[in-house]
Amino acid sequence: MSAPLRCVWKKKPATPPSGSLDLLCHCASALAVVCLVATLVLPVLAPARPRDNWADRTLEGLSLRDKIAQLVQIRVTGKFVNRQSKDFKKIEEQIRDNHIGGLVLFAGNVYESAMALNDFQEMSALPLLVSADFERGAAFRISDTTSFPWAMALGATGDEDLAYREGLATAEESRAMGVHWIFAPVVDVNNNPDNPVINVRAFGEDPDAVARLGIAFMRGAQAGGVLTTAKHFPGHGDTATDSHIGLPVVPSDRSQLERCEFIPFRRLIDAGVEAVMTAHVAVPRLTRDDSLPATLSPEVLTDVLKNSLGFRGIVVTDALEMGGIANKYGSGAAAVAAIKAGADVLLLPVDAGEAIDAVEQAVLAGEIPVAQIDASVRKLLDAKKRLNLDRSRLTDLDRIGDTVSSPANLALAQEIADRAITVVKDESRLLPLDPTSTHSVYGLVLTPSPDPESGTAFLNAFRDRFPDAKTEWGNARMPADQLAAIDKEIKGADLVVVATLSRLASGQNTSVPDAHRQIVRKLASSSKPVVWVSIGSPYLLRLAPEMKTMLCTFSHSENSQVAAAKALAGEFHIDGRTPVSIPGIALIGEGLSVPANPVPVVVSATAP
């Protein structure tokens, strides 16, 4: 020490007297201990250093109207649009003038989507939060991306690792194109076979299985760097009306919802899902009103979702342009009611400007607290910060070619499709078929779509594996001469494979054409060996429960169609289990194990 130790509480001589050296040493030691403790403890007790307060500073700089605009997301397409066109100018106006906070990406192509999103980001004073309905990968909206089977196919595999890997791949392709927030996973419990809008979009009808797979997908997607969304709260599975067209009614009471529909939502909330999307469904036993959509109900969004289930993340409405809302409410009224109910984000209002104006007027009139608006905006700004959009909002186009539709992602999608194939019945023990057999085989694909490409993935894959088989394709408008020709071929064949394809499309009729019903029922009542492949909804099998051999794909994606052809030819061991019950045919969890053909099938070089 450079100077003698001095104890301030008692005067000491300059030179310690004899015998006081020990006391001096003790004081020095005590002081050293105090200094060490201070070094370790004071940083803990001291106030935390202020974090990066970009969200704080941004929020403070926004006017009331601009805060409200941050809660609005509008539709954009990923297709080329001329910069001087009316459509482009309309979007530009919403960004530059109305200062909306986000975009929802719809149908388009990979590079056009990324380039358009970059253009829009550069127009905006604040980074835009870009979302998309990538339920089964980006292919749900964007072509040339990895097309995963529909969620019910994952349900048939029951494999959480596959769900995680699909979520990860979806997120990586999303971020490569400039999408930050995916409206997935769907965690509705599809316990109504007549549901026209959820159906194969759900993992199944067992709430525990839906929760397991939903969490796995969510964690994979989060690892890939996107926000995830559990939808559609409080549950859209037990409905028989398409909410794109009208207002479905959920008949369940609170106890039933707790035992079934709420289970996946509660578990994903506990697992850290960032957002929950509302459903445009009436739940009269919660709201006491059979005409009030859950999206506009404080009882559903605040009392149940926030207070009971404890959700503190982003509450986003389903599209406010859908019939379940737009048929009864104007843009302004719907926006105000949704915010009052507890929503943070207004998705696709019919008129974004009108929605912003109406919410602003409601705040100024004292109907909506400013603090509520601030809290919602803060959630979104925090999300943008976590996504690093405050520093980097533009997409690197060079990254797309190395990320989107990679061989690994395509192989994963085909693996899921293969693993999902489920043999519901095989009373005649026809499976697998022998491609080398000399018996005459007739393959028939029936699709309700007039699109000449619909069902051709199965037809081509079937022809590759059964090159001697005669085949036919028919849509909903089958002329009499075609029906007669089909009847003749069926009579002359030793075995018939009939594949019925059902496409799930929002707001469209999912009924089976009469001609297809007649063909299937005639085949079911004949003594001829028939293999029926349901491509898409498994509930189609109710048309002819007496059919002796049935396969399900639970998806109409092209890789699911290919998987069906591969399964028929015995290219892999079939071991899927139906994730839903099919009334009169199969219970949930049922499915036959069918071994692969001992001799590998030789297919053409062009076959998948």
Question: Known catalytic residues?
Answer: 244, 318
Residues in the chain: 608
Q: For residues 265-296, b (16+ Cβ closer than 10 Å) or e, as one string?
A: bbbbbebebbbbbbbbbbbebbbeeeebbbbb
- Crossing angle for the helix pair 160-177 and 110-123, nearest 10 degrees? 60
CA distances from 465 to 589, 602, 605 (A): 30, 7, 11
DSSP per-residue string spanning 489-534? HHHH-SEEEEEEE----TTS--PPPHHHHHHHHHHHHSSS-EEEEE
- Crossing angle for the helix pair 407-420 and 558-568, nearest 10 degrees? 60
Which amino acid is residue 134, in one-letter code?
F
Query: Which residue do the tokens 């990979």 mark?
Result: 110
| Beta-carbon count within 10 A of 3 CB | 5
Cα(187)–Cα(209) distance, rounded to whole angstroms? Answer: 10
Cα(113)–Cα(77) distance, rounded to whole angstroms? Answer: 7
What is the pairing mode between strands 102-109 and 181-182? unpaired
Cα(314)–Cα(380) distance, rounded to whole angstroms? Answer: 8
